[in-house]
Structure 1
Amino acid sequence: MSMDTSKHTLSTLFEQLGLASDAKSIEDFVARYSPLPSEVAIQDAPIWSESQSHFLEEGLEEDSDWAEVIDELDAMMRH
């Protein structure tokens, strides 16, 4: 039995950000906005609205259960 029933995924992250969250939409988003310059933190990228940026920043700062999936998106956006 899994202890963590609230495992966040890229899909749930995109839902939180108010973006299309199916695999194809996520793939298209990453393709459209990658690669992020190495000196730009993911939450500071100009692609986000203020509220999206704030959500990402909080998720990372509080090392919340969102941090891991935000890091995953970050890694995808660097390639």
Structure 2
Amino acid sequence: MQANFQSLRALFGQLGLPDDDTTIAQFIEKNRINDPDTPLESLSVWSESQKQFLLEARSLDAEWAEPVDELDALLHQ
């Protein structure tokens, strides 16, 4: 069985955030994480439900795991 993976744009939509390329790029630039040990979920921009979604997406290795990992990598660059 093949898993369905979502895109980064779809992740932003799922989180209730604007999902156009410009806004995503601005979000990433504004919220860069300088400490490699700081988890994505610890950003103060997330609501509690968004934090929970991000944590569950990775822990369950669900269809959202790939775009969450992608966002994490982009924020840590």
Same fold (TM over 0.5): yes
Q: 2:33 aligns with which of 27, 32, 35?
A: 35
1:27-68, Cα deviation, whole Å (9 max, x unpaired) = 000000013422211112222111100000000110111111
Aligned residues: 77
Q: Residue 25 in 1 paired to residue 23 in 2?
A: yes
In structure 2, the CA distance between the partners of 1:44 and 1:73, relative to structure 1 (3 Å rule), is same
Segments of 5+ residues of structure 2 without an aligned counterpart are none
Q: Distance in 2 between matches of 1:24 and 1:51?
A: 24
RMSD between aligned alpha carbons?
1.7
Could you tell me the TM-score, scaled by structure 1's length?
Answer: 0.87
How big is the shift at 1:4?
A: 5.7
Q: Distance in 2 between matches of 1:13 and 1:34?
A: 18
Higher RCO, Cα 8 Å, sep 6+: 2
Segments of 5+ residues of structure 1 without an aligned counterpart are none
